[in-house]
Amino acid sequence: MTPPESTDYGNPYNADAPLAQWSKYPMQNPTVYDSEEACENDIKAQSATVLKLNASLAKMFELARCVSTDDPALPQARFN
């Protein structure tokens, strides 16, 4: 999941926002991984790829988190 945008100047994403405010990635068809390790590896790969194109978006991937689909902090509708 990726963090929401921040209103704090100089920090484009709010990594401290409640998990319920974060976005699934990709938005339309979120990826479900077999393991946390697979998720973390994909985040690293996405971050490296995006860094070549857009430093601000790369920051979003640096802050991304792998979250279980049954995490109680997530509204149930997020993955339905």
| Segment 18-46, tens digit of pLDDT | 988 998 877 677 888 999 999 999 988 88
Residue 51 lies in a domain: yes
Residue 79 lies in a domain: no
The pLDDT of residue 77:
47
Q: How many domains does the chain have?
A: 1
| Segment 46-75, tens digit of pLDDT | 888 888 888 878 888 889 999 888 888 876
* Residues paired with 26 in a beta bridge: none
Residue 42 lies in a domain: yes
In this structure, what is the dihedral angle of CA atoms 59, 60, 65, 67, given to the nearest 10 degrees?
Answer: -170
Which residue blocks in the chain are alpha helix, DSSP H? 36-51, 55-63
d(CA 71, CA 74): 6
